Amino acid sequence: MIGAGVIGLAVALELSMRGANVRAFDSGNPGGAASWAGAGMLAPYLEEPPEALAGFLAHSLAMYATYARDVHAASGIDPELQLNGILRVARDEWEMERLRERSTRLAGAGVASTVLDSRATVELEPAIDPHISGGLLVHGEGYLDNRRLGRALRRACERAGVRVAEQTAVTRVEADERRVLGLQTSAGFVAATTVVNAMGAWASQLPGVPDDCVPSVFPVRGQMLALQAPKGLMRHATYTDDVYVVPRRDGRLLIGATTERAGFDARTTAEGIHGLLERGLRVAPALRGFTVSESWAGLRPATDDGLPAIGATTLEGYFLATGHYRNGILLVPATARLLADVIEGKPNAFAGTFALRQEANSLNV
Ligand SMILES: Cc1cc2nc3c(=O)[nH]c(=O)nc-3n(C[C@H](O)[C@H](O)[C@H](O)COP(=O)(O)OP(=O)(O)OC[C@H]3O[C@@H](n4cnc5c(N)ncnc54)[C@H](O)[C@@H]3O)c2cc1C
Atom 26 of ligand 1, nearest CA residue: 200
Distance 323 CA to ligand 1 centre (A): 9
Query: Which tens digits make up the pLDDT trace of 272-292?
Result: 999 999 999 999 999 999 999
Would you say the CB of residue 24 lies under 6 angstroms from ligand 1?
no
Would you say the CB of residue 26 lies under 6 angstroms from ligand 1?
yes
Q: What is the pLDDT of residue 52?
A: 87
Query: Which tens digits make up the pLDDT trace of 290-345?
Result: 999 999 999 999 999 999 999 999 999 999 999 999 999 999 999 999 999 999 99
Tell me: pLDDT of 114 over 50. Answer: yes
Would you say the CB of residue 35 lies under 6 angstroms from ligand 1?
yes
Strands 188-191 and 41-42, how do they pair? unpaired
Fold match between domain 6-78+146-216+304-362 and domain 86-142+218-300: no
Distance 317 CA to ligand 1 centre (A): 23
For a ligand 1 pocket test, name from 14, 148, 199, 260 the mutation site with the most ligand atoms within 8 angstroms of its C-beta: 199
Tell me the average pLDDT of the chain. 96
Q: What is the pLDDT of residue 364?
A: 34
Q: Closest Cα partner for 136 from 145, 125, 126?
A: 125
For a ligand 1 pocket test, name from 64, 300, 320 the mutation site with the most ligand atoms within 8 angstroms of its C-beta: 300
Atom 15 of ligand 1, nearest CA residue: 326
Domain chopping of the chain, boundaries = 6-78+146-216+304-362, 86-142+218-300
Query: Which tens digits make up the pLDDT trace of 243-261?
Result: 999 999 999 999 999 999 9
Would you say the CB of residue 256 lies under 6 angstroms from ligand 1?
yes
Q: What is the pLDDT of residue 47?
A: 85
Q: How far apart are CA 279 and CA 158, in angstroms?
A: 41
Distance 339 CA to ligand 1 centre (A): 17
For a ligand 1 pocket test, name from 6, 35, 294 the mutation site with the most ligand atoms within 8 angstroms of its C-beta: 35
Task: Name the pLDDT band for 125 (thresholds 50, 70, 90).
Answer: very high
Task: Look at the pTM and tell me if it is higher than 0.95.
Answer: yes
Query: Which tens digits make up the pLDDT trace of 64-100?
Result: 999 999 999 999 999 999 999 999 999 999 999 999 9
CATH fold label, 86-142+218-300: D-Amino Acid Oxidase; Chain A, domain 2 (3.30.9)
Atom 37 of ligand 1, nearest CA residue: 199
Q: What is the pLDDT of residue 360?
A: 45
Query: Which CATH superfamily hosts domain 6-78+146-216+304-362?
Result: FAD/NAD(P)-binding domain (3.50.50.60)
